[in-house]
Structure 1
Amino acid sequence: MISYKPFQKMLIDREIKKTELMKRARISSATMAKLNKNEYVSLEVIDKLCEVLDCQPGDMMEYVKRSEEEESG
């Protein structure tokens, strides 16, 4: 599964508020909620965030192997 923990850490490290980022990247609160819950977001969203944050997609997300419990649940 894809985790956006690096994205969350980046916001904290750079002291960027989520509301400020939503305005600058022109993304909705629903999209921000998806990022907070490690749910699917489009590449268009990733593109917007990378532009605003001046980073690469790999700086914002990481692949985390699912445990067997998660796969069967």
Structure 2
Amino acid sequence: MISYAPLFKTMKEKSITTYALIHHHGINPRIIHNIKHGKGISTFTLEKLCHALDCTPNDVIEFIKEENSD
């Protein structure tokens, strides 16, 4: 499972709001909606977020291994 918790932490640390991502960095509002609802994003979007926040992909997403319930 992919978690966007690092993104929100990075945004807070850098004082960048979702408004700024949309209006100053050209991130589509639909992408912000998808992120807030835990949906997937493209590597292109990941790159745009990293550029806007001056960070690495690890500062935007993290992989959480799900335990098999077999």
TM-score interval, smaller chain:
0.7 to 0.9
Gaps of 5+ in 1: none
What is the CA distance between 1:66 and its match in structure 2?
2.6
Gaps of 5+ in 2: none
When the two structures are aligned, how many residues end up with a matched partner?
Answer: 69
The one-letter code sitting in structure 2 at the alignment partner of 1:29 is P
TM-score normalised to structure 2 length: 0.84
The one-letter code sitting in structure 1 at the alignment partner of 2:34 is K
The corresponding residue for 2:61 is: 61
Cα RMSD, aligned residues only:
1.5
TM-score normalised to structure 1 length: 0.81
SS in structure 1 of the partner of residue 40 of structure 2: coil
What is the CA distance between 1:50 and its match in structure 2?
0.8
If each structure's helix is expressed as a fraction of its own residues, which one has the higher value? Answer: 1
For the residues of structure 1 that align with 2:59 and 2:8, how far apart are their CA atoms?
11
